[in-house]
Structure 1
Amino acid sequence: MNLKKWLFLFWTTLVVGAAGSLIVGLILQLTDTVKLNGAADLFVNVGILLGVGVMVSVYSQMGFFAYMMINYMGTGVFSRMTWQYIQIVLAALALLELMFFRTFVGREGGGDSDLILGIILLAIAVIVAYLKVKMTNRSAWIPTMFFMIAVTIVETVGVLKIGVNQATAWIAAPLVACNAYQILILHRVLKPRARS
């Protein structure tokens, strides 16, 4: 990956995060009957939503590059099959942590909301992995599932500790969108250009 390709990935992910935060934030505010006092409040509100989306996208990109480093090291240390099994186990443990261990063992979870979030993340991960396999090859299934489940859950731990469902939705939605975008676009970004 050269600087030009990285900048393309960086800026387009910023746009995805900002758009995701704006859409989800506005939907949450419409359902919460927020009162805005004039056009200035509206512009400040939109600016805050976009700013949060940009910050979430940068956080997502840090997680993505950390995942790529871990994946690179994992394939270097373990055999391909062993590394795939490790990713499956870690993704399953992350889901169990989100959906059950936080509630029943740690007594800090959101109960039903954590269960729903886990199911939504699993469904999105399956859809993204299916699309990634269609775009590339079958070997992309497990790494995509691992990234979309385990890395996304690790990235959302901070907002989960707040314990407010609206805050979780506001941060998790653009985060998932950025993660899905990055994993789906990576092979196109890395593809060498045809020389004419």
Structure 2
Amino acid sequence: MNLKRWLHLFWTTLVVGAAGSLVIGLVLQLTNTMKLNGTADLFVNIGLLLGVGVMVSVYSQMGFFAYMMVNYMGTGVFSRRTWQYIQLVLTALALFELMFLRIFVGGNKSSYSDVVLGGIILVVAIAVAYFKARMTNDSAWIPTLFFMIAVTIVETIGVLKIEVDQATAWIAGPLIACNAYQILILHRILKPKQSPQVHSQEMIN
């Protein structure tokens, strides 16, 4: 990946994050009967939503490149099959922690909404993995699921501690969108000399 391609990925991910934050933020505010005092408040509010989306997208990109480094080291230390098993186990543990441990072990009654969040992340991850596999090859299923589930859950830990459903939706929505966009566009950004299927397998499997 050269600088030009990285900049393309960076700016397009910023747009995805900003758009996601704007849409979700406006929906949340309208459902709470938000009142704005004039045009100035409207533009300030839109600017705030876009700014938060941009920050979330940068955070998402940090997680994406961190995953790429971890995946590179994992494939270097373990065999390909062993690394796939490790990713599956970590993915299952991340879902279990989000959807069950926070409620039954942590005793956090308000965390029942985490079950809904976990279900949404799981459904989106399966959909993204399906399209990623169709665009590349079937071996993309496990790493895509791992990134979309385990990495996304790790990235949402901070906002989950706030225990405010609206804040979780506002941050998690654009974050999931950015993660999905990056993993789906990766093989096109890289534009390898060999076929996209082969190169994508090398990069994320």
TM-score range, shorter chain: over 0.9
In 2, the alpha carbon distance for the partners of 1:5 and 1:117 equals: 32
**Greater mean alpha carbon deviation, residues 105-114 or residues 83-92:** 105-114
1:37 alignment partner AA: N
Answer yes or no: is the 8 Å Cα contact 2:17–2:174 preserved in 1: yes
Which residue in 1 is equivalent to 2:43?
Answer: 43
Q: Secondary structure at the match of 2:119?
A: helix
Q: How far did residue 109 of structure 1 move?
A: 6.2
Which residue in 1 is equivalent to 2:26?
Answer: 26
Distance 1:151 1:61, change over 3 A: same
Q: Percent identity?
A: 77
In 1, the alpha carbon distance for the partners of 2:75 and 2:57 equals: 27
Provide the aligned C-alpha RMSD in A.
Answer: 1.1
**Greater mean alpha carbon deviation, residues 104-113 or residues 78-87:** 104-113
In 2, the alpha carbon distance for the partners of 1:88 and 1:178 equals: 22
Q: Secondary structure at the match of 2:36?
A: coil
Which residue in 2 is equivalent to 1:123?
Answer: 123
Which residue in 2 is equivalent to 1:56?
Answer: 56
Unaligned runs of 5+ in 1: none
Q: How far did residue 192 of structure 1 move?
A: 3.1
**Greater mean alpha carbon deviation, residues 100-109 or residues 30-39:** 100-109
Which residue in 1 is equivalent to 2:2?
Answer: 2
In 2, the alpha carbon distance for the partners of 1:109 and 1:72 equals: 39
Answer yes or no: is the 8 Å Cα contact 2:87–2:142 preserved in 1: yes
In 2, the alpha carbon distance for the partners of 1:49 and 1:179 equals: 19
Give the length in aligned residue pairs: 194
Answer yes or no: is the 8 Å Cα contact 1:109–1:163 preserved in 2: no
Distance 1:109 1:144, change over 3 A: farther
1:86-106 Cα distance to aligned partner (Å, 9 max, x none): 000000000000000011112
Which ranges of 4 or more aligned residues in structure 1 deviate by more than 2 Å? 107-112
Which residue in 1 is equivalent to 2:94?
Answer: 94
Distance 1:97 1:26, change over 3 A: same
1:122-174 Cα distance to aligned partner (Å, 9 max, x none): 00000000000000001100000000000000000000000000000000000
Which residue in 1 is equivalent to 2:177?
Answer: 177
Q: How far did residue 193 of structure 1 move?
A: 6.7
TM-score (norm 2): 0.93
Distance 1:146 1:39, change over 3 A: same
